[in-house]
Structure 1
Amino acid sequence: MTKAWVKGVSVSLSTIIVATAIAGCTGTGGKEAAPAAPGSNAAGADAGKISAKEREITIAFPEHPNQPVKNMAPIQQEILKQTNIKLKFETVPNSNYNDKKKILIATNNLPDIIQVDMADINSFASTGVFVPLMQYMNKGLMPNFKKVWDQYPDMAKLTADGDLYGFPAIGRNELKNGFGPVIRTDLLKKHNLPTPKNFDELLTVLAELKKIYPDSTPFSARKGSGPIHQLFKTMSYMLGSGVGSGNGIYFDKDVNGGQYVYGQGTSEFKNVLAYLNKAFTMGVLDKDYAVATQQQWTEKLTSGKSFFFMDNSGFALDYTKQLQKAVPDGKLELIPIPEYKPGKARAEFYATTITNDRIFAISSKAKDPETLVKLIDWMYTEKASNLMNYGVEGVHHTLDEKGQPKLNSDYVMKFKDGQPTAFYAMYSDLGSGKLSFTPWFSNSEPQVQVEKLTGNWSDMHEQFWKTIANDKAYHDPYLEPPLTKEEAARVKEILVNLNTMLEQEYDKFIMGVKKLDEYDAVMKKARDSGGAELEKIYNGALARLNQKK
């Protein structure tokens, strides 16, 4: 595994990207493969190699600290064997990826394929840095993806100015999960404290724990990677406001029957700041919340110094196992979403089918983009998905009587004591799953298999998924509507100004450097500087899309 860092604005591709490549199969004799939807093996079953000669392509995507990227992992070795396409891996830490990605795009110094999100598409597609894909779909060169496109009408929301500029990662049989409140339930029981039913009760309980354990940091958080830090991304919506994917604009189902709102330009967001300020002033919220790395955050939770987090609730299962090495009876467990006002509780699931934050775009400078289109299209077949999520058939997995992949126990048991978990250790070894370059990913299904095969599945796992399933506060996420070229350009211009203005303001209010009443002026300035216009653009785009249905 290699690490690389950006030095200055002029960036060398080889020093800052994570590169991989996945290849696919076309029909024999140079003919196109027959269309096949996810779940079918029709396309590519007897196909030849994508490239007549061995070829190396580069793909940039973030490296998550839980899943280090290996060079030429087994899956990539098998892809080279089957397709003649070699994968190159140069990693970018997840915490720095967003900044480095934007430099690559802005300087048009892209790898062959790069992982982007819909904000990047809206901001940069009009500059010509990404290959427009509709032309290939219309020519019949994307038969497998076309099946997915037809299956999910919401795919149209991933277009910009009428064209598609990237292949979205699609979930396969994913269990639903999302940001959620996780607390030390063993401490609640030990000190006869109630499970918080609303956000005020949550602060009361954490304050009590602070009194009992004065050297503790009851509520810990990690720094986000964008202009809006992780606390806002995880908590704003649950507290009655929202920041969407991180640019501030979000769909609020509870406003006027459902409409787009610029969160930071509303009094509801002032309430979010007030809540976090109260937590900070009480000594409950980690004083280092704005700069804490994921590693520091993890250490506090797993050493027993911190008792609560609001983030990816799945961490509860991983961190409890680590916590119990220091505190044998310790339990970090998910609880139902607290109410932000009487009778009102809400939260969003992660996307389990279509994602708009994990899109694979092809560089307009890439050699032979048609081949890249074909190889990514192949990835939406069951054959490719099995390989890229479960490894090589007969080596890492077999197919059961229903044709579904089952991981081989002998292979999985090699990672029984893997860190940070057995399944992440296995994913890293294989080069597989959602955190890799996998357009049709399966994350939770192989995870459950690993947990059960290694004996790590427990009553806590059962309770975790039961808590989510029974919590009516959760709902599926909303995909943003497609924008025209002019709208996308204007949104980009507005957000540059707004983010620059607001980034330096948030923490002043949370830490009490500024009085909360002063946010009224900031809120007005935010709306006048483009927040209100953002709402108009997005609500107009949504109305336009609905008229086409």
Structure 2
Amino acid sequence: MQHISRRQALLGLGALTLAVAGCGEDEAPKKAADVSANKAGAMANYGVNQQFKATEPISFDVLYNNHPFYPDKSDWLFWQELTKRTNVTLKPVEVPLSDYDKKRGLLVGSGQAPLIIPKTYHPAEEAFVSSGAILPVSDYFDLMPNFKDKVAKWKMEAELDTLRQADGRIYLLPGLHEEVWVDYSLAVRTDILEKHKLAVPKTWDELYEVLKALKKEYPDLYPMTDRFGVPTPGGNLFKLVAQAYGAKGGWEYQHATFDSTAGKFVYTGAMPQYKQMLEYLAKLVKEKLLDPESFTQQDEQAKQKFNSGKSFVISANAQSIVNDYRPTLTKLVPGAKVAKIPVLMGPVGDYKIGTRLENGVMISKKALENKNFVAMMQFIDWLWYSDQGEEFAKWGVEGTTYTKDASGTYKIAKDIDFVGLNPGAPKHLQKDFGFSNGVFAYGGTTKLLNSTFSEEEVAFQDVMNARKPWPVEPPHPFNDEEREQATLWETPLKDYVTQQTLKFVLGERDLSEWDAYVKELEGKNMTSYISLVNSAYERFKKDHG
């Protein structure tokens, strides 16, 4: 795979230079708004890893994704200490996690959204670009020294390019990871493998052999059941298997995948590699190695099967091992052991597939009218992108919620628990203090990321970090007219791919009908859609790359 050349404008040439670089030959230069009159509360000499503190007390509304595991509390130490350190008071506009995306869309579309809109995953921001409801944040990167520093230091220009819209601008401030972070994989009952003298699988073919051996020992059980199938069928499992063949599936499914050999995008759901994923999974289901309910059952059903010893393999991330499996499993099945294994490999080899970008922050267009706009951008830069802000959001207050020794190793306070670091402690870092909150704590150095991991999770990350990162795909942003047309095509295409994927995997449709399926996609404008994608890709490459 290949990607277009990286533009260095965002690393210090200034907002105006960046805006000019984001214009095609026939377009007028896009200029950043003059914010010289909106500096109230801003620091005159704010810089990298410098504590931001507004020169006067200020406050901003923030859209708040209210997580049911740690619902917002007004007396959290997070809110109090944040104001103490920055002179900024955040006023959360609470929206339930279950309704966040829909409510955010309604608020932004109606112009009623708070100034700061976090927890937005690309490409969700694209829906608000043409209306001008959100700011082209790349025009204001010069107000964010920590953001720019990390992009330059970690060579993240290519990743940022994937966020650019047809005008060359970026409308979402993403979380930045130093390295690709892989969290989701499979959990296996290692005690069962040991009992039957089976090695921990390293490839999908080896998993197939392990499941066959377990089926022979436990003919009345499905050796594997899965979760994360609602609302996206096969969310994690399809993603992982597709990656192994060089495609995109499940949570990661996108209509277009870049074919580096051909130098153009192809339709993902019609790729030979996508078919290979289906063939593999259909084989597991047909041979009764994989529970056919895996793709549609609720998580609780899947967990119940696994934790009661009725299956031995299930999707997992670091927290599910600690919170969902081990405590219940070891109570119900004495002597049981479970571990998250490194992501299984397939034909593409030992790649680590993922992104260094996280969900991010949109800024309402109303922010430009706020006298504290510059201070707000400095504040966002400190909280989400400075080393100190990221440490604060994740760990809290040194001496109260954690300690740190001379080597920089973090240790949670004795009376506080988080992800099983201190099981049985009376307080919880998220529930009682508001730290490690998904609205504010993501991104940062690998050392900070690993700081809350158990030894077994660090070992998992060491294996994954030794693998080669998958190349970044080139941008192909649509202009307004193309986006309108693409939107009409995308939903029926996605729905049909999802529907037929399940039918193929469950054996309700034979894979001998693959060619007929591809023709059916053509009947739903697949070819026209991919032509649109490639036109956008070629235009963007010509104008910007």
- Which TM-score applies when normalising by structure 1? 0.75
> Where do 5+ consecutive residues of structure 2 fail to align?
1-37
1:276 to 272, 281, 284: 281
Aligned-residue offset at 1:496: 2.0
1:265 to 267, 270, 277: 270
Matched positions, count: 493
Deviations 1:169-191, CA, capped at 9 Å, x for gaps: 1236x684344343222212211
> Counterparts of 1:146 and 1:466 in 2: how far apart (Å)?
27
1:191 is the counterpart of 2:196: yes
Q: Secondary structure at the match of 1:504?
A: helix
Other-structure match for 2:119: 115
Other-structure match for 1:501: 496
Aligned-residue offset at 1:391: 0.7
Map 1:311-322 to 2 at 5 A: 311-312=316-317, 315-316=320-321, 319-320=325-326, 322=328
2:294 to 289, 296, 304: 289
> Counterparts of 2:425 and 2:303 in 1: how far apart (Å)?
17
Other-structure match for 1:124: 128
> Counterparts of 2:295 and 2:522 in 1: how far apart (Å)?
25
1:77 to 76, 80, 92: 80
The residue identity in structure 1 corresponding to 2:168 is G
Aligned-residue offset at 1:469: 4.5
Q: 1:262 to 1:49 in 2, by over 3 A?
A: farther
1:517 is the counterpart of 2:512: yes
Map 1:175-214 to 2 at 5 A: 176-196=181-201, 198-214=203-219
Q: Secondary structure at the match of 2:162?
A: helix
Other-structure match for 1:464: 460
Other-structure match for 1:432: 435
1:445 is the counterpart of 2:448: yes
Other-structure match for 2:23: none
> Counterparts of 1:389 and 1:89 in 2: how far apart (Å)?
21
On the 8 A contact 1:116/1:361 being kept in 2, the answer is: yes
- Over aligned residue pairs, what C-alpha RMSD do you find? 4.0
On the 8 A contact 2:65/2:97 being kept in 1, the answer is: no
Q: Secondary structure at the match of 2:297?
A: coil
> Counterparts of 1:499 and 1:483 in 2: how far apart (Å)?
19
Aligned-residue offset at 1:108: 5.7
Q: Secondary structure at the match of 1:392?
A: coil
1:375 is the counterpart of 2:376: no
On the 8 A contact 2:393/2:435 being kept in 1, the answer is: yes
Q: 1:535 to 1:349 in 2, by over 3 A?
A: same
Q: Secondary structure at the match of 1:145?
A: helix
Percentage of identical aligned residues = 24
Q: 1:236 to 1:413 in 2, by over 3 A?
A: closer
Map 1:43-442 to 2 at 5 A: 43-44=51-52, 47-49=54-56, 51=58, 55=59, 57-61=61-65, 63=67, 67-72=69-74, 73-82=76-85, 83-88=87-92, 90-93=94-97, 97-98=100-101, 101-102=104-105, 110-112=113-115, 113-137=117-141, 140-151=142-153, 152-154=156-158, 155-160=160-165, 161-171=167-177, 176-196=181-201, 198-224=203-229, 229-230=234-235, 231-243=237-249, 246-249=252-255, 251=257, 256=261, 260-312=265-317, 315-316=320-321, 319-320=325-326, 322-341=328-347, 344-351=348-355, 353-355=356-358, 358-364=359-365, 368=370, 370=373, 372-379=376-383, 380-398=385-403, 400-401=405-406, 406-412=410-416, 425-433=428-436, 435-438=438-441, 440-441=443-444
The residue identity in structure 2 corresponding to 1:519 is W
Q: Which moved more, 1:157-166 or 1:426-435?
A: 426-435
> Counterparts of 1:336 and 1:30 in 2: how far apart (Å)?
48
The residue identity in structure 1 corresponding to 2:377 is V
Q: 1:533 to 1:425 in 2, by over 3 A?
A: farther
Q: 1:428 to 1:257 in 2, by over 3 A?
A: farther
> Where do 5+ consecutive residues of structure 1 fail to align?
1-26, 452-456
On the 8 A contact 2:239/2:253 being kept in 1, the answer is: no
Aligned-residue offset at 1:206: 1.5
Deviations 1:357-396, CA, capped at 9 Å, x for gaps: x021123356738264343123222332222111124422
> Counterparts of 2:180 and 2:471 in 1: how far apart (Å)?
14
On the 8 A contact 1:398/1:406 being kept in 2, the answer is: yes
> Counterparts of 1:68 and 1:499 in 2: how far apart (Å)?
33
- Which TM-score applies when normalising by structure 2? 0.76
